Amino acid sequence: MTSTALGTWRKPPLAYVVAELAISPYYSMQSKIPGLQDKLRSSFPRTLEGQEIVVDGGKPTPQPLWQLISADQKLGVQIGTRAISFHATTYSQSSDFLSRWAEVLDAIQEASLGAFVERAALRYIDLIVPTEEKSPSDYLAPGLKGIEPEDGRSTGSMLASAFQFDGGVVNLRASAPAPQGLLLPPDFAALPLNKPGVMLDAEKQLKAEKTIGFVDTACVREIGKVFDAGELLGSFSEMQKLTSKTFKAATSEAAKGEWM
Amino acid sequence: MSDTIQLRRYTPTQAALMQKRPSDLIQAVESTVDAMSAALMQSAAEFIIQGTTLLTSRLLPKQQAKKAVEHFDVDVMVDVVSADWAKWTTQTKEAFQRAYEAPRQQTSAAARLRVERLSLLQAAFGFTVQDLASVLGITRPQLYKWLDVAIDVKLQESSRVRMAAVERIAKEWMARSVAPLSSVSKEPLEAGGTAFTLMSAEAINDAAVIAAFDELAVKLQGQPKTRSQRLREAGFTRRVSARSLPSDE
């Protein structure tokens, strides 16, 4: 299993990226899967079937889920009755990620799903693996560091903020140090993809009972339109800029010096 | 003849006519013709006969001309003319209809993004197509295909990686200079070689390329200013052209 560094920085902390479309309930998705699978087979030859529990009103109901995974297990597409998402643990440039997502969007367009897109979201998970003599909080901007009571030592903290921009809302969650044993954000449903180098390093730190942290930056934008690949791609390009701006504001100068 | 360009003026009727599709115009004429078709065909047929009569009488001896004219029959001519007219209008209408209704080729989002990425690279580097193809590790015909938004090209993984690497170094150049790299890309470097040879190597050495960019950026700053740069510094601005892109300004 090869590990990769995500992004163009010297020592990038990026561990996982997800682009997601929340769609109106699409009950006949099962009939569309064969066509989508054929169109995406060349990039995502492996298919896994699953179920998700949907709580819509009263009784939770299981809904089918399909996961199309690339041959190197670094990219995946998840298709369900309520969301379509693209997951990556390989990321060289935002333009490269968006071009792969564009191919998935084009395949969905050609399959003529006609899905109504409620929202679009772009989420970046960065892991803080401190080097010697540093703590995870040293990598966060001063405003995110939290308090330090006298004679006290932080064993876990989580700060959540939401920032409204013209192009959407960016939700930021910073946990440094992350509660013991927590590698990824608590409500994060990852696909079974190959772990990147920074995630393997973070796991080693946890095994050695050292602390790590994570920064979870997610931009959400209301769409409210029938699926259109071109328009959605434009939205994601803008959302990428907003998440990047927020992430850079959330990190300290020391972190930028070490990572960039 | 006037020294100034004369504006064209249209009446509302003329303007409305010009906005119609050709097939609509033919349909409009046809509906008018249908109303007066009989009289029109008759007069057209008579005109043809008169013309032919005149021509044959001038060209042929009298007896032969008389015999030739006798073969013409007004009713036959009316049928011939109306059939030809109907055939012509039908064919022309069908041709215009087909052209108008032909489905326009939809371009994919991935293709548009690919072309946009290549445009940004060209804006940064200003290379010829051949040189850009060399940097991207592909042939010139292949690059032309990549540049065609109508063609859905599935990039190989190696091509994706290469393009991402080239985009990375394009960002490095744009952070150092607004001038396109092409003006200095083939200048010899202190460490030997040129920036272009470094960029078109099989594996791009980022550190070596960045060092080359630093050297070339300094060299560019030391070059004498061009006329347009001097004018810009003096406060002159380019007249906005209707054909220029916002990024040109």
Here the ipTM equals 0.83
DSSP state of A39: H
Q: How far is the CA of B137 from the CAs of A90, A248, B97, B195, in angstroms?
A: 22, 33, 45, 15
Question: What's the mean pLDDT in A70-81?
Answer: 94
Question: What's the mean pLDDT in A107-124?
Answer: 94
Q: For A95, which of B112, B117, B152 is closest by C-beta distance?
A: B117
Q: For B109, which of A92, A96, A105 is closest by C-beta distance?
A: A105
At A4, is the pLDDT very low, low, confident or very high (cuts 50, 70, 90)? very low
Question: At how many degrees (to 10) do helices B74-101 and B22-35 cross?
Answer: 150
How many Cβ atoms are within 10 Å of A70's Cβ, its own excluded? 20
Round to whole Å and give the CA distance between A249 and B1: 67
Question: What's the mean pLDDT in A247-251?
Answer: 92
Q: How far is the CA of B117 from the CAs of A237, B81, B160, in angstroms?
A: 12, 59, 11
Q: Considering only CB atoms, which chain A residues are within 8 Å of B165?
A: 92
Question: What's the mean pLDDT in A147-152?
Answer: 79
Round to whole Å and give the CA distance between B45 and B81: 7
Cα of B142 to nearest chain A Cα, Å: 18
Contact between chains at A92 and B161 (C-beta distance less than 8 A):
yes
Task: Walk along chain B (249 residues) and give the pLDDT tens digit of each residue.
Answer: 667 776 777 777 777 777 766 777 777 776 766 666 666 666 766 776 677 667 666 666 666 656 655 555 656 666 666 677 778 878 888 887 777 676 666 789 999 999 999 999 999 999 999 999 999 999 999 999 999 999 888 899 999 999 999 999 999 999 998 888 998 999 999 988 999 999 999 999 988 999 999 999 998 888 777 787 788 888 887 776 666 555 554
Which of A73, A93, A108 has the highest number of chain B CBs within 10 A, making it the mutation to test binding with B? A93
Q: Considering only CB atoms, which chain B residues are within 8 Å of A42?
A: 154
DSSP state of A81: S
Q: For A106, which of B108, B155, B167 is closest by C-beta distance?
A: B108
Q: Considering only CB atoms, which chain B residues are within 8 Å of A232?
A: 109
* pLDDT tens figures, A19-47: 999 999 999 999 999 999 999 999 999 99
Exposure string for B108-128, b = 16+ CB within 10 A, e = fewer: bbbbbbbbebbebbbebbebe
Which of B105, B108, B112, B167 has the highest number of chain A CBs within 10 A, making it the mutation to test binding with A? B108
Round to whole Å and give the CA distance between A120 and A188: 16
Q: Considering only CB atoms, which chain B residues are within 8 Å of A102?
A: 108-110, 113
Q: Considering only CB atoms, which chain B residues are within 8 Å of A230?
A: 109, 112
Which of A103, A228, A240 has the highest number of chain B CBs within 10 A, making it the mutation to test binding with B? A103
Q: B167 at the A interface (CB within 8 A)?
A: yes
Look up residue A214 and give its amino acid: F
- pLDDT at position A5 over 60: no
Spatial strand order in the sheet of A46-55: A46-55, A60-69, A75-80, A83-88, A14-23, A116-128, A213-226, A168-175, A159-165
Q: For B110, which of A8, A92, A103 is closest by C-beta distance?
A: A103
H-only helix segments in B36-108: 37-59, 62-70, 74-101
Exposure string for A101-119, b = 16+ CB within 10 A, e = fewer: bbbbbbbbbebebebebee
Q: Considering only CB atoms, which chain B residues are within 8 Å of A8?
A: 168
pTM for the predicted model, two decimal places: 0.73
Q: Please, is B44 exposed, middle or buried when counting C-beta atoms within 10 Å of its C-beta (0-12, 13-18, 19+)?
A: middle
Q: A178 is written with which tokens?
A: 């992350």
Contact between chains at B113 and A102 (C-beta distance less than 8 A):
yes
Between A87-91, A95-99, A137-141, B78-82, the lowest mean confidence (pLDDT) is in B78-82
Which of A4, A8, A9, A10 has the highest number of chain B CBs within 10 A, making it the mutation to test binding with B? A8
Q: Are A202 and A129 in contact (CB under 8 A)?
A: yes
Q: Which residue has the tokens 């690949």?
A: A229
Look up residue B94 and give its amino acid: E
- pLDDT at position A237 over 70: yes
Q: Which residue has the tokens 């150092």?
A: B176
